Structure formats: structure tokens, C-alpha cells
Chain A
Amino acid sequence: MSGFTFSDEQEKEITRIVAKYPFKKSAMLPLLTLVQRAEREVSPAAMVAISKKLDCSPAYVQSVMSFYTMYHAEKVGKYMILFCINISCQLNGCDKLLEYTAGKLGITVGETTPDGKFTLHREECLAACTEAPMMRVNDIYYGALTEQRIDDVLNSLD
């Protein structure tokens, strides 16, 4: 298995994270998040690296990782679009807008564009129901979506 090494900066961040907890296993999610955000995936090699930091087996890391929807075994796009389809957004027409977004990107829901720029996922409630319909692109919430607003958001991303 090809090696995975943390950068010096990541090593410092890991030290800071682990110090927050009396037991270092608690740093599991933060470390997975650190890797996912930097690599856009959590590879088997990264799981091994995390397991060494936390004194547990790589299989254990994988069992935790596979429980949570925000970690991905396959690389996701530079922009991760989470499109809320839960009740408040459904009542405000999200289904058509999701279809529109997929059509605009030329992919089906769950896929990544061939250039690796966008991944589109159907997402459960993101806690912005009063701004429905809404989506989250990387860390940013966009509410009151219309076809025009979706165009504007996607066009604004490099």
C-alpha cells in the first residue's frame, strides 16, 4: 500500500486536536475530517496513517468512517453540492431544481462531473428550512434557490 504522510502543518493541527480530549480515540472524526477536506477522499493509506495516530487498527478506522456520510472512499469533486430534498425543501419545489442542477451539470445525482469539478448529492435536512429550497456547496449555504440563482452560484465557482 502506498504511503500516506501528513504535512508538517497537519501534524501541528493533529497535535492541537488530540490535546482536546482525554482519550485520543476521540480525535477519530476530526482526523477523518482533516483528511477528507484536504484530499477530497479518505484512501486506505490515509486510514492506516490515522490508525497509527490513534493506536487502533485500520479496520476500526474504516468501520467508523463508513458510518458517516461526509467521508468518501472515492474522490469527490472540487465542489461538493449537497442538495436538500427533505420536507421543507420538498414543499418548496426542490425536486425540480435538483433535476435542473443535474441537467445543467450533465450528470445524474450521486455523480461527479468528468472534469472533477462538481459532485452532486441528494442530502437530508441541512437545518436551513426557513430558506428552503436550499443547497450547501462546500461550506457555504445557499437558500431561496431558483434556477437563476443556481446558475449564478455555479457560474461563480472557478
Chain B
Amino acid sequence: MTQILFKNINTADLHTMKVYEAQGGYRSLKKAFAMQPEEIVAAVKTSGLRGRGGAGFPTGLKWSFLAKDVFPRYLCCNADESEPGTCKDRELLLKNPHLLIEGMILCAYACRIETGYIYLRGEFHDLSVIMEQAIADAYAKGYLGENIFGGGFNFDLHTHLGAGAYICGEESALLNSLEGERGEPRMKPPFPAVEGLYAQPTIVNNVETLCVVPYIVNEGAEKYASIGTKKSAGTKLVSVSGHVKKPANYEVVLGTPVREIIYDLAGGIRDDNKLKAFIPGGSSVPMLPADQVDVLYDYESLAAAGTMLGSGAMIVIDDSVNIVETTLRLISFYMRESCGKCTPCREGTRWLYQIVEQIMQNAGQLEHIEKMEDICDTMATNTFCPLADACVSPVVSSIKYFRADYEKYFTNVSTSLA
């Protein structure tokens, strides 16, 4: 099985400069600095790499959208990993911090950026200590700082800790937070590549995305593009959690059947129960029922199945669970994390919570489901950021596939929604 990001992830002391270099770390820099920056952007385009944080936007294209001839530009690594079910960036940051630094240096060189920030969620304080040590070691080696390798290229890199807000994983909210403001999303356009941090052109990329770039420079864009499927190139880290025997982060080639991920890699369902549902891309994407377990794990196949690859978090649910309980927990999450800026999200998440809670107290009626669908219609695509849409995903998909679970709660008691 092709391993790019996790090839040597369990090598002892990989987080140290000595071991990382002994494993071939930072060797991409010499090759990159002999290339024109535009050639690297072109290579990342050719590689087919897509953003691994959730949206799956082509990375090279994002880099090419930077406003022309406007400086300074900034690079922000999104390490605000908070999508329920997702913990792959944490493992990369914990065990292989230099890979991220190397990827960020390559991106900065390619995009003519001289300052970068790694925005870590506040709860990752332990990782910020590891990251700062790695950054200090990279400065000491001359990989960061002024006039790197005597080629006239400067790049400064800093860590920045958030303080507990899921929404800051949304790129424009992240930028507001980094500017010292409330982490509310911005109106788009303008997109960050045109007006981002401090209103300057800015690249925001996920940890995993940036960690792929050294491989593309070392091995060539064509080699990366040859892995996976035609439109979903490369490998993806998948956090498999929930009711599996071996929950862990696995690196899979895009296009691998979900069945293989759940049953071969993660060892199958705990206690040999039956699979009931799986959420393939973090809590913000629609869940699928067990009979779709043969879907292929790539962007297009999952989209065709009515869901998304998202952040690459596979949450596995067995048949001991009533899906309504799971759905209520997720609604509760979005309700708590809604920043309150947009009315459909601020109010809609609360209404959904109240209705599902009412259903679970055996005080529901069929019309409550219609009401939920109606609220979801109003929430979807009517807000500054996708948090409302994210909340809609588990609700609509749970009704679509597991309506019987809702009906178990219905009684003949008449209640009003007011």
C-alpha cells in the first residue's frame, strides 16, 4: 500500500531535526530553489493535489489565484483541527512537525511569501511546544530566516494558538481570529488569495495538504498524479473512529473501497455487531447506510453517493445505536459552535435541537420531521460560511436513511411546536 505521509510516521524521534534529515527530510528545498517559483505552482497543479481540510479545492489553482504583484503576502497553515471525527493533523503535527515546515517553505517559495503562521487550535498547546522547537531547529539550520541557502529568499514562520472555537477552522474566520478579532467568517468574495490576512493576498492550506508538497517536489507531479484515481489523485489520511476494532489514522490511496477501510484496515465492527451507518468525511457530511459500504473512497465517488470526502474522518456506527441520538449530539455541537452572525444558523440550529429533543421525549409527531426539513431548507446555502450546511447534513441524511429510528419515538400525544 502506497504510503506518502505515514511512510515513516512511527520512526523513533522523527520529530527531531537529526532523525528527520536522516530520513531524507528537507532535501526538496535544494531542488525547489533551483526551480522558478511558477514551476512549483505548475507542478502542484499537475499533481492533482486537492485541499485535505474539507473542501477539496485544487491546491495549485488556489496558489495561482494570488493577486498579482501585491506584496506582502501571507501563508497560514490551518491546524485548527476540530471537525468531529478528525484527528489526522494532530498525528502529523505530533510525530512529524518538520514535514509541515518543509511543505510551508516550499509553498512560501512558490508563492513569493515571506511570512507564515501555523494556526493551531487552542487545545493543541502541547503541539505548539513541539512545533516551536521544530521551528527553532529549522532556523538554526538556515532553512528558515533570511537569505535561505544564500538564494535571497526569506521566510519567517510562527505559531499562533486559537482559544476554543470550531468556526476558526473556516478560513476567513481563522484570519479574523489571527488578526485578534472574534472568529466570525467574512463575506466572500474577496477570497483570501486576493484579500486575506491584514487585507493582503493570503494562502490558507490545511496541515495535510502542505505536508504532501515535499513529495511532489521530490518525486515529481506525474508520480503523485499516477496514484489514486484520475480526478482524486494521491493518498488521504483517514481517521477511522467509532465502533471499529482498530480505530486509528490510516493512509489510503484514493479510490479504495470503504469496505476495505472499515473491515480490513480498522478490523471490522466491534463485538462483531452489524454496521448500521458510516459518516465518511467528518460530522459535516451526510451519513450513508450500511448497504453503501462498497462505495469508493474518493471525491467523485462519494459525491455521486450524495455525500463528501470532507476532512477524511470515517465515523463508524453499529446497529446498537438509534441514529436520532447521534443526530441530536451533532446538532448540539453545531448549535454550540454557531458564531451567531447569520440568523438561519444561529436560530436554525437551536430550533432543530429543540424539535429533536422533543421527539426523543416521545412528544413528537410526523409533522415535526417536515418542520425539520423546512428549517434545513432555510439554513442551507443562506449563510456566510458552511457551518449551517454542515448541521443540515446529518439531519437530512438521518431522516432520509433512518426515518424508522425517528418513528420509534412517535406517540399519539398531540403537541404544538410553540
> Which residues of A approach B to under 8 Å, CB–CB?
20, 22-23, 25-30, 32-33, 54, 63-64, 67-71, 82, 85-88, 90-92, 124-132, 136, 139-141
Contact = CB atoms under 8 A, between A and B. Distances in A.
Given A20-B158, A124-B84, A125-B333, A33 B163 contact: yes
Given A67-B182, A129-B84, A29 B241 contact: no
Nearest to B90: A127
A76 B416 CA distance: 41
B86 A129 contact: yes
B142 to A, nearest CB: 20
B158 A132 contact: no
A64 B121 contact: no
A69 B121 CA distance: 12
A46 to B, nearest CB: 15
Given A127-B87, A127-B90, A130-B247, A26 B321 contact: no
6 contacts: A20-B158, A25-B180, A29-B163, A54-B180, A87-B283, A129-B313
Contacts of A139: 125-126
A91 B321 contact: yes
B179 A32 contact: no
Given A29-B161, A90-B329, A130-B240, A124 B166 contact: yes
Contacts of A70: 122-123, 163-164
B81 A68 contact: no
Nearest to A56: B180
**B interface: dominant SS:** mixed
A130 B313 CA distance: 10
B336 interface: yes
A140 B126 contact: yes
B330 A87 contact: yes
Interface residues of B, number: 56
Given A88-B84, A125-B85, A23 B198 contact: yes
Contacts of A33: 122, 161, 163
Contacts of A67: 165, 182-184, 339
A15 B353 CA distance: 45
A92 B245 CA distance: 12
B171 interface: no
A124 B183 contact: no
Interface in B226-269: 239-243, 247-249
Interface in B120-173: 121-126, 158, 160-166
B177 interface: yes
B315 interface: yes
A32, A67, A70, most chain B CB atoms within 10 A: A67
Contacts of A127: 81-82, 86-87, 89-90, 121, 123-124
A85 B179 contact: no
Nearest to B249: A130
B195 interface: no
Nearest to B79: A127
Contacts of A128: 87, 90
Contacts of A68: 122, 162-165, 183
Given A33-B122, A69-B164, A124-B84, 14 more contacts: A22-B115, A67-B184, A68-B122, A69-B165, A71-B164, A86-B283, A87-B85, A88-B247, A91-B321, A91-B326, A125-B333, A127-B82, A127-B124, A132-B242
